[in-house]
Amino acid sequence: MKTSKSYAADKQRLLTRLRRIEGQARGLAKMVEEDRYCIDVMQQIASLRAAADAVALVLLRDHLDGCVREAVRDGGGAEKIDEVVEAVRRYSRS
**Which CATH number fits the domain that encloses residue 18?**
1.20.58.1000
Average pLDDT over residues 35-62: 97
pLDDT band at 12 (very low <50, low <70, confident <90, very high): very high
Residue 53 has, within 13 A of its CA and on its CB side, a CA count of: 9
Number of domains within the chain? 1
Query: Which three-class secondary structure state does DSSP give residue 6?
Result: coil
Find the domain containing 85 and state its range.
10-93
Q: How many Cβ atoms are within 10 Å of 70's Cβ, its own excluded? A: 14
Asked if the model's pLDDT at residue 5 lies above 80, the reply is no
Rounded CA separation 10/67 (Å): 15
- Domain membership of residue 3 (yes or no) is no
- Domain membership of residue 45 (yes or no) is yes
pTM of this prediction? Answer: 0.84
